Chain A
Amino acid sequence: MSLAIPNGLDNSVERPGERAPLVLGDTTFHDITETVCQVAERKPNKAWVIGFLISFALLQWFGICILYLLYTGVGVWGNRSPVFWGWPIVNFVFWVGIGHAGTLISAILYLFRQDWRTGINRAAEAMTIFAVVCAGTFPGIHVGRAWLAFWLAPYPSLNLWMWPQFRSPLLWDVFAVSTYGTVSLLFWYMGMVPDLATFRDRSKNKWRRMAYGFLSLGWSGSSRHWMRYEKAYALLAAFAAPLVLSVHTIVSFDFAVSQVPGWHTTIFPPYFVAGAIFSGFAMVLTLMIPARTMLGLEKLITIRHLDNMCKIILATGSIVGLAYGTEFFIAWYGQVPEEKFAFLNRAFGPYWWAYWTMVSCNVISPQLFWFKKFRTTPWIIVIISIFVNIGMWFERFVIVISSLSRDYLPSAWAYFSPTWVDWSMLIGSFGLFFTLFLLFCRLMPVINMAEVKWTLAKQHHMSHENTSQADEH
């Protein structure tokens, strides 16, 4: 693969007094429509079919494992005393973390007026939803009797005659993750309606037209509608921004509110949120770079987009590295013997291999993004992003497993080892994720056409203004 960026597609160079263009080439509004719609309109290519078949097979395997689990019981997992919160919770926190980038791009970058988000927000939001679906699966099947999972909801129960315990972070989690899933879904769908209307208006086939017509709710592009739509979008963004931060904060409470050494620390909320954004952006890049080449979207998802995302990975990766250091410092400074032991045990105990995998993937590998060459070379970004994903999975593994396997009472210590069902479920959840994502690529607008058109209009307007100003003075 060549390292050089094709001519005319490098917008990562800073030019003083000028904003870098976010839509490249001599693109018109219609070109944007064509570029995005052809992804869904043409016949699927071989890569898509093969990818889909593999993902779908893994999804079936995931389903079989869940049925086996429900039929046999949670003993098929490696969860044993004292590690009752084993692999499924590791997977849950991993997936919830992945699910943070989408809404962050849509909401927080929207509030900060970062126009470069328009090229990537749709796919990132879709990724969020699918990651939350994967995440939601794990606590659902981890409750032991999954068919009674509705007991988590505050409903007047005739069997229990009691209510949920609202002082437990586990219950906060139920509310936080379900609210997050719901709001992300609304946000995603609402953003998609104008683009679904584009799909509707382009479809030749009656059934297609009917399906997209139903999904686009009769969107006509009226300015009154656009005005209310923009207002609703801004409001949703304003709600989603604190929501993104609250969800992983509350997930971290699951750990921080308990008294297990290695969990009982106040640094967890910011540290988890930074880690979530870190892993989310890594996953966005892992998916987006191959997709952008395969679907021919290089003009809309430009090198600058990748460059910006790498900078966010660098920033959050450094925060995560700092948090690892701070944890050690506080363990020493706090002088609680169990706490000190927990951290030494992480680095030099039986799970040393997991700890050092985590450190090298999460702390060292993103530091390469200080160099522009690494930030602007797509295949290098993919490799580093995959390392970050691996590292973030191991971070959750280290936190959950190493703390539980050796806490206060040495006679209760034990070494956790996953079973084949654990492995299958982790791999199977990727099957679920990729199946949904590949279907999304085929059926839905992968790029927010309306917003990219708006960005293009703004780009034209600004260049026009620059020239007219030059004329006037």
Chain B
Amino acid sequence: MSETTDKKVHGIAAEYTSVDTLMDACRRVRDAGYTKTDAFAPFAVHGIDKALGIKPTKLPWIVLACGLTGTLTGLCMQIWMNGIDYPYIISGKPYISLPAFIPVAFELTILFASFGAFFGMWALNGLPKFSNPVFTDPRFDRVTDDRFFVYVDASDARYDRAGVEKLFSETGSEYITTVMEDDSPKKVPKFIITSWMVMVALSIIPLLIVLKMRVTNSSSPRFHIFYDMDFSPSKDAQQNTTLFADARAMRPDVPGTVARGQMDLNYQTGIDIDALAKIDGPRAAMLVRALDDAEAKADSAAKSDGAPKAAASPAPGVMDTTPWLGENPSELTAALLEKGQQQFGIYCSVCHGMNGGGNGLVNRRAQKILAGTWVPPSSLHQDSLYAGKYPDGKLFNTISNGIRKMPGYASQIKVEDRWAIVAYVRALQKSQNASIDLVPASKKKAIEKQQAAVQQKLKEQAEAEKKAAEESAAKAAKAESDKPSA
């Protein structure tokens, strides 16, 4: 041990075997006035800070600061990202909606505070520090097992080797040692440094490759790692496949569906599109296109006053050359007429009246209040609206797209129901001009009788009116003649 004499002395340590002797020794060292002291133990001995006179740590303040930083970071990050830089519209909620930001802010508070506690503790402890003079003594290895040490540093103002050793021996320590400078090589072994540097260098390579690819252009095509994610392996028409039993890649329509662009356009528009295409190609194309769009946004309200209307209804005054469908494409059945009657009752009768005479409730009210802008609804019984002059297709178009003050009903009434209304209107028109011969013989008598009664009544009424008119005329003449001539 002769070579130890010229080494620097760090301090003196004494070994103890129990907590109680350790605490006792600590108190004595503290009372003797030493301040640069420490105790070493295999576990946290409670009360030793008091026994040695160690001041409380300021770690909680570091942790508090870190925690607040976490809260602020969380809130600012979310407010900036979702409220300011890229405002997300989520269910009409405010962009800066604090309740939704609480979970992430909370998690970041915990995360930052935990980092503060963890790294703050190691930093305050001055760790990691792999070279420590106390480790030079092999007996010190038992500090992490079952032994306790008290240590007085040589830099303490009151340090005096003999005095400290005496104090320690008084406390019953069986082993007192001088802590010498660690003479083991301080340098990290070369191979560790080399392998570390090689690893760092190797780990940079992929990053450099990525960076180079990011900034340079390449004349060769891109490399596709997952080829089928970039290029869909979907089948072309007419190819075969193993996916379906019939081996056809092209699938037939699902029953009950109509493919896009394959709707019965005549039925949808009331116009013979083929005929229209011959006389007015652009208009036919426009109609087809408009209907395709309408398919895409089937129930968009824009449809009723959009392109189809403009295209389909001829401007007033211009001679109508549209090849309207002459006949209702629906099969005429009692059920269809009933449907038409029901729909007419719902949508049409308010203006046109239950009998189609043009005197519905709305009209009557408008007349009563003398509404200035009111255009009276047409009577459906005027000659110009009969099938001969006003084809079924045109009537359908009018219901769909409206005319004059009448709005279009395409968005409210289904296509088949509109055709049902057309059929019913025809029936109404017929009802006003039917010849008695159409009535079955069994009911003819009753009707003729009723007719006679009505005519009789009308005649009486007419006579009464005539009489009244004559009377009032006579009265007026008399009054005129009675007036004194001024």
| Interface residue ranges, A against B (CB under 8 Å) | 28-30, 33, 71, 73, 145, 154, 162-167, 169, 171-172, 175-176, 179, 182-183, 186-187, 190, 194, 197-198, 200-202, 213-214, 217-232, 235-236, 239-240, 242-243, 246, 250, 253, 449-451, 453-454, 457, 461
A229–B146 touching, CB < 8 Å: no
B40–A222 touching, CB < 8 Å: yes
Could you write out 14 A-B pairs with CB less than 8 Å apart?
A30-B145, A145-B229, A171-B104, A198-B144, A218-B128, A218-B129, A221-B143, A226-B43, A227-B48, A232-B59, A235-B113, A242-B110, A246-B106, A253-B103
B57 surroundings in chain A (CB, below 8 A): 227-228, 231
B45 surroundings in chain A (CB, below 8 A): 223, 226, 457
In whole Å, how far is B180's beta carbon from the nearest beta carbon of chain A?
16
Q: Can you name the residue of chain A whose Cβ is closest to the Cβ of B225?
A: A147
B259 at interface by CB-CB < 8 Å: no
B130 at interface by CB-CB < 8 Å: yes
Alpha-carbon gap, A242 to B113, bound state (A)? 13
A166–B82 touching, CB < 8 Å: yes
Give the residue of B19, B81, B130 whose beta carbon is less than 8 angstroms from that of A166. Answer: B81
Alpha-carbon gap, A239 to B66, bound state (A)? 12
A166–B60 touching, CB < 8 Å: no
A183–B125 touching, CB < 8 Å: no
With A182-B111, A221-B41, A223-B48 as known contacts, state yes or no: A229 contacts B125, CB within 8 Å: yes
Alpha-carbon gap, A449 to B44, bound state (A)? 11
B114–A236 touching, CB < 8 Å: yes
B24 surroundings in chain A (CB, below 8 A): none
Alpha-carbon gap, A44 to B60, bound state (A)? 43
A454–B43 touching, CB < 8 Å: yes
B49 surroundings in chain A (CB, below 8 A): 223, 227
Among all A-B residue pairs, the 5 with the closest Cβ atoms = A29-B146, A163-B81, A232-B121, A217-B128, A201-B141
B88–A232 touching, CB < 8 Å: no
Interface centre among A30, A175, A202, A450 (most CB of B within 10 A): A175
In whole Å, how far is A225's beta carbon from the nearest beta carbon of chain B?
5
A201–B144 touching, CB < 8 Å: yes
B131 surroundings in chain A (CB, below 8 A): 218
A227 surroundings in chain B (CB, below 8 A): 44, 48-49, 54, 56-57
B240 at interface by CB-CB < 8 Å: no
B146–A198 touching, CB < 8 Å: no
How many residue pairs, one in A and one in B, have C-beta atoms under 8 Å apart? 187
A231–B88 touching, CB < 8 Å: no
A231–B43 touching, CB < 8 Å: no
A220–B42 touching, CB < 8 Å: no
A183–B111 touching, CB < 8 Å: yes
Task: Add 14 more A-B contacts to A179-B110, A231-B59 (CB < 8 A).
Answer: A33-B42, A165-B90, A166-B100, A166-B104, A175-B107, A197-B144, A214-B130, A219-B144, A226-B44, A227-B44, A232-B117, A242-B110, A243-B107, A246-B103
Q: Mark out the residues of chain B between 187 and 243 whose CB falls within 8 Å of any chain A CB in the assembled complex.
A: 226, 229
Q: Mark out the residues of chain B between 321 and 366 whose CB falls within 8 Å of any chain A CB in the assembled complex.
A: none
Give the residue of B43, B129, B145, B229 whose beta carbon is less than 8 angstroms from that of A201. Answer: B145
B135 at interface by CB-CB < 8 Å: yes
Give the residue of B90, B115, B117 whose beta carbon is less than 8 angstroms from that of A167. Answer: B90
Alpha-carbon gap, A286 to B88, bound state (A)? 47
How many of chain B's residues touch chain A, expressed as a range? 35 or more
A182–B114 touching, CB < 8 Å: yes
Q: Can you name the residue of chain B whose Cβ is closest to the Cβ of A226?
A: B44
B292 at interface by CB-CB < 8 Å: no
| Interface residue ranges, B against A (CB under 8 Å) | 19, 38-45, 48-49, 52, 54, 56-57, 59-60, 63, 77-78, 81-82, 85-86, 88, 90, 93, 97, 100-101, 103-104, 106-108, 110-111, 113-115, 117-118, 120-122, 124-125, 127-132, 134-135, 141-146, 226, 229
In whole Å, how far is B38's beta carbon from the nearest beta carbon of chain A?
5
Q: Can you name the residue of chain A whose Cβ is closest to the Cβ of B41?
A: A221
Interface of chain B, main secondary structure: helix
In whole Å, how far is B314's beta carbon from the nearest beta carbon of chain A?
44
B101 surroundings in chain A (CB, below 8 A): 166
In whole Å, how far is B87's beta carbon from the nearest beta carbon of chain A?
10
In whole Å, how far is A350's beta carbon from the nearest beta carbon of chain B?
26
B88–A165 touching, CB < 8 Å: yes
Q: Can you name the residue of chain B whose Cβ is closest to the Cβ of A199?
A: B144
Interface of chain A, main secondary structure: helix
B106–A236 touching, CB < 8 Å: no
In whole Å, how far is A58's beta carbon from the nearest beta carbon of chain B?
27
Alpha-carbon gap, A218 to B115, bound state (A)? 20
Alpha-carbon gap, A201 to B137, bound state (A)? 11
Give the residue of A198, A225, A228, A250 whose beta carbon is less than 8 angstroms from that of B145. Answer: A198
Q: Can you name the residue of chain A whose Cβ is closest to the Cβ of B26?
A: A223
A186 surroundings in chain B (CB, below 8 A): 114-115, 118
A165 surroundings in chain B (CB, below 8 A): 82, 88, 90
B114 surroundings in chain A (CB, below 8 A): 182-183, 186-187, 236, 239-240
In whole Å, how far is A331's beta carbon from the nearest beta carbon of chain B?
25
Alpha-carbon gap, A29 to B43, bound state (A)? 10
In whole Å, how far is A460's beta carbon from the nearest beta carbon of chain B?
8
Alpha-carbon gap, A15 to B60, bound state (A)? 39
Give the residue of A179, A217, A221, A454 whose beta carbon is less than 8 angstroms from that of B108. Answer: A179
In whole Å, how far is B117's beta carbon from the nearest beta carbon of chain A?
4
With A194-B43, A220-B143 as known contacts, state yes or no: A235 contacts B107, CB within 8 Å: no
Alpha-carbon gap, A87 to B313, bound state (A)? 59
In whole Å, how far is B61's beta carbon from the nearest beta carbon of chain A?
11
Give the residue of B41, B59, B63, B129 whose beta carbon is less than 8 angstroms from that of A226. Answer: B41
Give the residue of B42, B125, B146 whose beta carbon is less than 8 angstroms from that of A228. Answer: B125
B110 surroundings in chain A (CB, below 8 A): 179, 183, 239-240, 242-243, 246
Alpha-carbon gap, A182 to B142, bound state (A)? 32
A224–B125 touching, CB < 8 Å: yes
B135 surroundings in chain A (CB, below 8 A): 220
A176 surroundings in chain B (CB, below 8 A): 103, 107
Alpha-carbon gap, A167 to B90, bound state (A)? 8
Alpha-carbon gap, A11 to B134, bound state (A)? 40
A187 surroundings in chain B (CB, below 8 A): 114
With A29-B146, A166-B82 as known contacts, state yes or no: A223 contacts B38, CB within 8 Å: yes
A163 surroundings in chain B (CB, below 8 A): 81-82, 85-86
Alpha-carbon gap, A165 to B93, bound state (A)? 13
Interface centre among A171, A176, A183 (most CB of B within 10 A): A183
With A202-B141, A454-B44 as known contacts, state yes or no: A218 contacts B130, CB within 8 Å: yes
Alpha-carbon gap, A214 to B131, bound state (A)? 11
In whole Å, how far is B214's beta carbon from the nearest beta carbon of chain A?
9
In whole Å, how far is B86's beta carbon from the nearest beta carbon of chain A?
5
